[in-house]
A and B are shown apart, each in its own frame.
Chain A
Amino acid sequence: MTKQQPLLEVKNVKKYFPIKSGILKRTTGNVQAVENVSIDVYEGETLGVVGESGCGKSTFGRTVLGLEPLTAGTIKFRGQEVGGLSYRQLKKFKKEMQMIFQDPYASLNPRQRVGDALEEAFIIHTELPKQERQQRVRELLVEVGLKEEYYERYPHEFSGGQRQRIGIARAIALNPSLIVCDEAVSALDVSVQAQIIKLLKRLQQSHQLTYLFISHDLGVVRHVCDRVMVMYLGATAELASSDQLYGNPLHPYTRALLSAIPRPIPGRKKERIRLKGELPNPADYPQGCPFHTRCPLATEKCAKVRPEWREIEQGHFVACHEV
């Protein structure tokens, strides 16, 4: 890893959601959605964020973008603190950071022409005259593999893959540096998924984009990401380059996760690591190692002492007593 300044520096970030109960709505506990995450993200890389449903991937992504106020920790963007900024102060960073969602349809107004929806970004963030704005929208449509004429169409007239292209066009409209892709290709069929992955890769080159690529699909992540961070119950279990993580997974959770993926090879001997039970409730956060309730290697120590986040080999971090 080059020792350039990271584009994004995340330090000891926590995001808790208070649980309120009783008539007085007193806070009686917390959902510990993000539990002490530290990570540097470098310009031009694709960092994968993986883990089971509810482990805090989306919350982490939203927190990075300033869409959720921090509970603790710091976030720096190009060396500047953004974590504690108000919505207004954040506005100038908004152009720099964008998001692509799993279901672009949910974020498009069904009664608005797609071209007009795309034009909005230019109305809010630029001084361009109408003609130029519309010209830019047409260029955008072509850039993401759609046709200029689609300007006039409405969201329901597009297929899932096309709608995702529109979501991508909207994200790149203002030339951001960082895009959080939250399950951006998860809802698509494999044939179309491959088209969108190619598009994302092409745009990364042409626009020097940095991606935070959130996904529960470890196959896609291997394909798309340079480095991968594995989350479990809001905490980071392991961080490594894709090659290290898939070639030499060290954390017992990462190993179980990789062994559970069904491979498209009939008759292959399954050597699955079986996990007991299910993800604990993050509102009732376990003591010690968050994984100890399901870990096949857990010892007594694991139930009491939270493992440290250690660098085992160059660029390969793990939180586990037994590694």
Chain B
Amino acid sequence: MDKLLQVDNLVTQFRTAEGKLSAVRGISFSVEKGETLCIVGESGCGKSITSLSIMGLLPSNGEIAEGSITFQDEELTGKKEEELRQLRGNKMSMIFQEPMTALNPVFTIGYQLREPLILHQHMSKRQATDKAVELLEQVGIPDPKKRLKQFPHELSGGMRQRVMIAIALACNPSLLIADEPTTALDVTIQAQILDLIDDLKRKMDMGVVFVTHDMGVVAEIADRVMVMYAGEVVEIGEVKEIFNNPQHPYTKGLLASVPNVDDEYHTLESIPGSLPNLNEKIQGCRFHPRCPLATERCKREASPIFDVRETHQSKCWLQEVNVHDKAATSS
């Protein structure tokens, strides 16, 4: 296996007026070369904080409290800011939902593209300019020479997102983390960007962590899917397993609440209630207040992670019964 990223028992906390609160509560997963892992879940469930923990870009009141993150066999937790900066924009890159927050409004597109090339790849300005033009062409921006002289505000939303992807790809990263990169875009532009990321992943054998809350997008680009709820991974597996054979009640609820464009008779299901706040204490399974199948045991005791198959795990007591059933029928 070509393991690129391994996250083990990651706990990320915030210092707040109410004390330390955990936004990510002991999650583990891995990403391989050439693989796209999608992270899905409701807004606030910890998708972005997971991504930022990996990149070492947590907000100032946040910190990794426990666990380990290894990238190409190198431990990232505990690394100095300077060492992390060397990795970022070089071996690993991130793109964000709102490109305006990542692009600097006072510098031209050309400057922002050349800078990492000069810094990390030690190119001359001339070489960097040629490479910048090539990168803009690669992400499908027409008239790239002209764009180099433009400022971010002179471009449309879709264009800016392409520029950000070009910057992220400048140094041929091995890992790309994309946090809702198409959420703010129209579907026609989203389609172009998804194709682009998928294409580049194949060509460059990149590992991709793609954060989204759109199940349609997940189905299009994921190899594997990780479902998060309230700071935990509740289900993880290959994309077909998650869509065709979901096990966790939360995953099932998420899938049932997606409106189906192709079926007028589809009835929408909703999950009652909403995601708990970080400061809410919940005993037992964190999903139990909203779970239609919760038992007394679920309210007392959190479920461990069970194997559904070797490639598919679910954090739910129901799985224990299934595992027993399988054992019973096979013996």
Contacts and interface: CB of A to CB of B under 8 A. Distances in A.
Interface string B176-195: 00000000001111111010
B186 A264 contact: no
B202 interface: no
Nearest to A196: B270
A301 to B, nearest CB: 24
A268 B219 contact: yes
B243 A52 contact: no
A216 B42 contact: no
A265 B243 contact: yes
28 contacts: A52-B186, A52-B189, A159-B274, A160-B43, A189-B213, A190-B259, A191-B42, A191-B271, A193-B270, A194-B257, A194-B270, A194-B271, A216-B187, A219-B259, A220-B259, A222-B259, A222-B264, A242-B264, A257-B187, A261-B187, A262-B187, A262-B194, A264-B216, A264-B219, A266-B220, A267-B240, A270-B220, A278-B156
A256 B254 CA distance: 27
Interface in A194-226: 194-195, 197-198, 216-220, 222-223
Nearest to B261: A219
Given A219-B216, A223-B266, A264-B218, 10 more contacts: A159-B274, A159-B275, A190-B257, A191-B257, A194-B271, A257-B187, A262-B216, A262-B217, A266-B239, A278-B158
Interface in B171-226: 186-192, 194, 213-220, 222
A190 B258 contact: yes
A262 B158 contact: no
Interface of A: 52-53, 159-162, 189-195, 197-198, 216-220, 222-223, 242-243, 246, 256-258, 260-268, 270, 272, 274-275, 277-279
Contacts of B214: 262
Nearest to A220: B259
A270 B275 CA distance: 33
Contact of B268 (A159, A198, A272, A275): A198
B260 interface: yes
Contacts of B284: none
A14 B158 CA distance: 27
List 5 A-B pairs, minimum CB-CB distance, nearest first: A262-B216, A194-B270, A191-B271, A219-B259, A52-B186
A243 B265 CA distance: 11
B191 A264 contact: no
Interface string B124-157: 0000000000000000001000000000000011
Residue of A161, A258, A278 with most partner-chain B CB within 10 A? A278
A256 B187 CA distance: 10
B253 interface: yes
B269 interface: yes
B131 to A, nearest CB: 25
B187 A264 contact: no
A161 B264 CA distance: 25
A189 B216 contact: no
Residue of B158, B255, B264, B274 with most partner-chain A CB within 10 A? B274
Contacts of A272: 191
Interface string B25-69: 000000000000000001100000000000000000000000000
Nearest to B156: A278
Nearest to B45: A189
A278 to B, nearest CB: 5
Contacts of A260: 187-188, 190-191
B219 A265 contact: yes
A162 B255 CA distance: 22
A46 to B, nearest CB: 14
B216 A263 contact: yes
Contacts of B213: 189-190
Contacts of A257: 187-188
A222 B214 CA distance: 17
Contacts of A193: 257, 270
A189 B41 CA distance: 9
Given A222-B261, A243-B264, A278 B243 contact: no
A197 B216 contact: no
A246 B263 CA distance: 9
Contact of B187 (A192, A218, A268): A218
A240 to B, nearest CB: 13
Contact of B274 (A161, A256, A261): A161
A265 B218 CA distance: 9
Given A261-B187, A262-B217, A223 B274 contact: no
B188 A275 contact: yes
Interface in B264-308: 264, 266, 268-272, 274-275
A181 to B, nearest CB: 15
Contacts of A278: 156, 158-159, 189
Contacts of A242: 264
A155 to B, nearest CB: 15
Residue of B216, B219, B254, B259 with most partner-chain A CB within 10 A? B259
A197 B266 CA distance: 14
B262 interface: yes
B97 to A, nearest CB: 13
A242 B254 CA distance: 24
B239 to A, nearest CB: 4
A263 B192 CA distance: 15
A264 B258 CA distance: 8
Nearest to B262: A263
A207 to B, nearest CB: 21
B242 to A, nearest CB: 8
B261 A189 contact: no
Interface string B73-88: 0000000000000000
A285 B119 CA distance: 43
B219 to A, nearest CB: 4
Nearest to A192: B274
